[in-house]
């Protein structure tokens, strides 16, 4: 049987990688891309709601409906040959996130509170691993994940961040001990979390973590609060990274200003912003 797979994912799609592995184990021929009518059976997994949607026999993914998960029925090692451009293992050790952020799709996915070993998806041929976890530090067994990574001498290529509100000395030490392919990602989304965020960033500063901090703007904050959060992040030695929920012209201009790090030669970001305007 010829099985066709389609996706709008720019780099990889874990659901299709598992589906591919399962069908190949049954002796089926699997191909990625191309019209569905060239296949005897087809799957489509979409990440983005704005991308074109081509019909398939089975369709799912957050781009269609957050609850339409395609990989749950295929508990199998992903087929890494489906996306030969990636040089890392890919998967979840913990999918759940306790936060119920209104701007986020994760709470709508009904993710299980199940801890998994990296060896359910890690291919020993790779020296890097990509964790797709939504909130690693909310996993009661989070340390086991790091210990497996250390024991296997892996470099982490994270696509998601770590929750500063759950930071502790033990967690900061674990992050410092871990090798990453790029800066660690943190986020400060809400003003109400200021105390916990500042405590988490202070620990990140003490442990000299190489990190960047995403700042959600245009959701439920005003510009003064956006400016305040960026300043606090900068004062603690980290770079703010604006993430715009609403793409207003004023916020886009402020984002460009932050990206340029124009403020670094000024006593405050506010003073630099006055000059920049």
> What's the number of CA atoms in the CB half-sphere (13 Å) around residue 72?
12
Which residue among 42, 74, 106 closes a domain?
74
Q: Is residue 171 part of a domain?
A: no
pLDDT digits (tens, 9 = 90+) for 214-234: 999 999 999 999 999 999 999
Number of domains in the chain: 2
Q: Is residue 196 part of a domain?
A: yes
pLDDT digits (tens, 9 = 90+) for 33-50: 866 668 899 999 998 888
Name the pTM for this structure.
0.91
DSSP letter for 262, please: G
Q: According to the model, what pLDDT value does residue 50 have?
A: 85
Q: Is residue 159 part of a domain?
A: no
Neighbours of 50 (CB within 10 A): 7
Q: According to the model, what pLDDT value does residue 74 have?
A: 63
Q: According to the model, what pLDDT value does residue 51 have?
A: 86
Q: According to the model, what pLDDT value does residue 274 have?
A: 94
Which residue among 74, 101, 129 closes a domain?
74
Mean pLDDT of the region 174-179: 98
69 pLDDT exceeds 80?
Answer: no
Q: What mean pLDDT, rounded, does the chain reach?
A: 93
CA distance 201 to 240: 12
Q: According to the model, what pLDDT value does residue 75 have?
A: 72
Q: According to the model, what pLDDT value does residue 53 have?
A: 85
Q: Is residue 244 part of a domain?
A: yes
Nearest Cα neighbor of 6 from 39, 58, 43, 38 is 43
Residues above pLDDT 70, as percent of the chain? 97
* Angle, helices 223-235/194-206, rounded to nearest 10 degrees: 20
Q: According to the model, what pLDDT value does residue 71 have?
A: 66
**pLDDT tier at 192 (50, 70, 90 boundaries)?**
very high
Helix (H, G, I), strand (E, B) or coil at 132: coil
Q: Is residue 175 part of a domain?
A: no
**Pairing of the two strands 155-156 and 128-131:** parallel
Q: Which ranges of the chain does DSSP label H, i.e. alpha helix?
A: 14-25, 142-151, 169-177, 194-206, 223-235, 249-259, 269-276
Domain coverage including residue 194: 182-277
Which residue among 41, 74, 107 closes a domain?
74
174 pLDDT exceeds 70?
Answer: yes
Alpha carbon separation from 191 to 225, 228, 232, 233, 243 (Å, rounded): 7, 9, 12, 13, 15
Q: According to the model, what pLDDT value does residue 73 have?
A: 59
Nearest Cα neighbor of 172 from 194, 148, 146 is 146
Q: According to the model, what pLDDT value does residue 35 have?
A: 64
**pLDDT tier at 194 (50, 70, 90 boundaries)?**
very high
Q: According to the model, what pLDDT value does residue 109 have?
A: 84
Q: Is residue 255 part of a domain?
A: yes
Q: Is residue 95 part of a domain?
A: no
Answer with the residue of higher pLDDT: 63 or 174: 174
Q: At a CB cut-off of 8 Å and minimum separation 6, what does 277 contact?
A: none
Q: According to the model, what pLDDT value does residue 152 have?
A: 98
Q: Is residue 110 part of a domain?
A: no
Q: According to the model, what pLDDT value does residue 54 have?
A: 85
């Amino acid at each position: 049987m010829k099985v066709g797979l389609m996706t709008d994912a720019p780099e990889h799609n874990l659901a299709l990688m598992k589906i591919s592995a399962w069908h190949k184990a049954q002796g089926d021929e699997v191909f990625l891309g191309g019209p569905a009518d060239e296949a005897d059976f087809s799957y489509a997994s979409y990440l983005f709601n704005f991308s074109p949607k081509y019909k398939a026999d089975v369709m799912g993914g957050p781009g269609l409906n957050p609850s339409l998960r395609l990989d749950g029925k295929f508990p199998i090692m992903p087929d890494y040959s489906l996306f030969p451009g990636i040089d890392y293992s890919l998967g979840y050790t913990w999918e759940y996130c306790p936060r119920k952020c209104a701007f986020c799709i994760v709470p709508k996915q009904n993710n299980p509170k199940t801890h998994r070993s990296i060896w359910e998806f890690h291919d020993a041929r790779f020296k890097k691993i990509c964790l797709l976890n939504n909130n690693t530090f909310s996993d009661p067994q989070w340390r086991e994940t790091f210990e497996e990574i250390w024991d296997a001498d892996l470099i982490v290529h994270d696509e998601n961040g770590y929750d500063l509100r759950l930071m502790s000395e033990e967690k900061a030490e674990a992050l410092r001990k871990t090798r990453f392919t790029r800066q660690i990602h943190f986020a400060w989304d809400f003003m109400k979390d200021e105390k916990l965020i500042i405590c988490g960033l202070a620990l990140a500063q003490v442990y000299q973590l190489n990190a960047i901090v995403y700042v959600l703007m245009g959701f439920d904050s005003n510009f003064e609060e956006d400016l305040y959060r960026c300043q606090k992040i900068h004062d603690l030695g980290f770079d703010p990274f604006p993430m715009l929920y609403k793409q207003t012209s004023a916020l886009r201009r402020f984002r460009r200003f932050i990206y340029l790090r124009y403020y670094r030669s000024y006593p405050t970001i506010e003073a630099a912003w006055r000059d920049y305007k």
